[in-house]
A = this chain, B = another copy of it.
Amino acid sequence: MPDENTGLALWLDRLTLRSDLNEEERAAVLALPGNLVFVKSNRDFVNLGEHVDRACLIVEGMAGRFGQARSGERQITALHIPGDMADLHSVALPKAATALQSIGECTIYRVAHANIRDLARRHPALAEAFWRDCVVDAAILSEWALVLGRLSADARVAHLLAELSCRFGIGECRDGRAFDWPLTQAQLGDATGLTPVHVNRMLRVLREAGAVDVKPKRVTILDWKRLCTIGQFDPRYLHLEEAG
């Protein structure tokens, strides 16, 4: 059973990966008040255009950021995993330009903007850490624009799987490793800009190429190098290494 400490600790790990924080600053993050909310499967918990006053930390499960075309088709512009403050950006810009939806069931921890902003005001190093977190988010988004604009269908799917492998801390010479995967093929299509049918075919291609095996609820990396080659994936943009 997850609790708020798990969530905040995960987020702090994420922050300290890229920013130096002293003991006081770390303690301040871990002391952030909020409430733990369980979100049912595939439910919007932040609506488009809504004026939000709390940010959502993913504690367990996954969530997606969705943009919506006039036609009603949705595009997933970001996927969030445990430890991500999914809409930290809303502290700076409270009007949600994208919706947040759970992917499968998930648990979130809601933290009031006021408290986060207060921390930023009192600790310049935290202000910078929050800023940096948003910038990394934008870097991932920018990479995703490249993927959507330039890569073929098989490469898009491979790229997404490789990115998530890295963010989950798997990958890099870890053939055979597996991780939970709550997305349906239709949702994978919403992320890659493909139809569910074509996603299915691409998954088959990737499986037959011996790169990755995607079953419902579970992804197994078969050949990390091959996956990266097909997906034209280079993890540097994720900024996961402290030594940049």
Contact = CB atoms under 8 A, between A and B. Distances in A.
Number of identical protomers:
2
B138 A134 contact: yes
Chain A: interface size category = 35 or more
Given A95-B244, A120-B127, A244-B95, A142 B142 contact: no
Interface string A138-160: 11011111101111000000000
A47 to B, nearest CB: 14
Contacts of A236: 49, 95, 97
Interface in A92-123: 92-95, 97-98, 117, 120-121
Nearest to A234: B70
A112 B82 CA distance: 35
A interface SS class: helix
Q: Which 7 A-B pairs have the closest CB atoms?
A: A149-B193, A67-B146, A148-B148, A138-B138, A92-B132, A70-B232, A95-B244
30 contacts: A67-B142, A69-B150, A69-B232, A75-B145, A75-B146, A75-B149, A77-B142, A78-B142, A92-B131, A93-B132, A93-B244, A95-B236, A97-B236, A97-B237, A98-B142, A120-B124, A120-B128, A121-B124, A127-B127, A127-B128, A130-B131, A131-B131, A134-B134, A134-B138, A138-B141, A141-B145, A144-B145, A148-B149, A148-B193, A149-B192
Interface of A: 18, 49, 51, 65, 67-71, 73, 75, 77-78, 89, 92-95, 97-98, 117, 120-121, 124, 127-128, 130-132, 134-139, 141-146, 148-151, 192-193, 232, 236-237, 239, 244
